[in-house]
Structure 1
Amino acid sequence: MTIEGDEIWSYVGNKASKSWIWLALDVASRQRVGYTVGQRAQREALRLWQSLPPVYRQCAVCYTDNWKAYRGILLKTRHRIVGKGTGKTNHIDRFNNTLRQRISRLGRKTLAFSKKLENHLGAIAYFIHYYNSSLL
């Protein structure tokens, strides 16, 4: 069982109000098995870990980038730190790009930004649910 983890930048209200979307993807099924939205800090890495179903927390090998927040949360025996050139996080990176393309409020230069955090969370949750159901 293998998962990939990553985070992407977004904002609510204005660009100074940064919001990070943390995602975990099951490599075999391509489904998003966990996500959270918050700051780019270890607290959010813990929230991502807690959002995973128990079977992933107990058994999965996790590939991430070298962001320090992951090192304090993930078990060393099952955490693999990899660079972009290895291809071990290409599925989650591709999904991040899909998020930016399909949810206009996540675009870097957009007029369709979220004014409320609740709307931001709703748009992300709706898309992830829709995407996962399309894989079944």
Structure 2
Amino acid sequence: AEVFDPETHRSVGKDTGLTNHVERFNATLRNRLGRFTRKTLSFSKKKENHEAVLHLFLLKYNQDMKNRWITR
């Protein structure tokens, strides 16, 4: 509640079993973006480059999810 707005986000505890969505996304992020796995792979010294790659990944990922669920 201190970091995120409670009206738009909710905390998920370990007992609810709902953390699998978050963990699945984290695993997808690590698998698709090498720079979030190891410092020596695809490493850039500029924070802006990391942010740009993450932003592009999120745009593409969200578009893919949207297309997947709309076409069903």
Fold equivalence (TM over 0.5): yes
The one-letter code matched in structure 1 to 2:11 is Y
Greater helix fraction, Structure 1 or Structure 2? 2
Structure with max Cα Rg:
2
Q: Does 1:97 align with 2:20?
A: no
The structural deviation recorded for 1:62 is: 1.1
**5+ residue gaps, structure 2:** 67-72
Count of paired positions: 65
Mark the runs of 5 or more structure 1 residues left unpaired by the alignment: 1-41, 50-56, 65-81
Which has the larger strand fraction?
A: 1
Secondary structure at the counterpart of residue 63 of structure 1 = coil
- Structure 1 runs of 4+ aligned residues shifted over 3 Å read none
Q: Structure 2 vs 1, CA of residues 97 and 110 (structure 1 numbering), >3 Å: closer, same or farther?
A: farther
Change (3 A) 1:114 1:86: farther
Higher relative contact order (CA 8 A, sep 6+): 1
Shift of 1:110: 3.5
User: Matched residue of 2:10: which SS?
Assistant: strand
CA apart distance, 1:103: 0.6
Q: 1:126 to 1:61 in 2, by over 3 A?
A: closer
Instruction: Give the % identical residues.
Output: 42
Return the TM-score normalized by structure 2: 0.71
**Counterpart in the other structure of 1:62:** 10
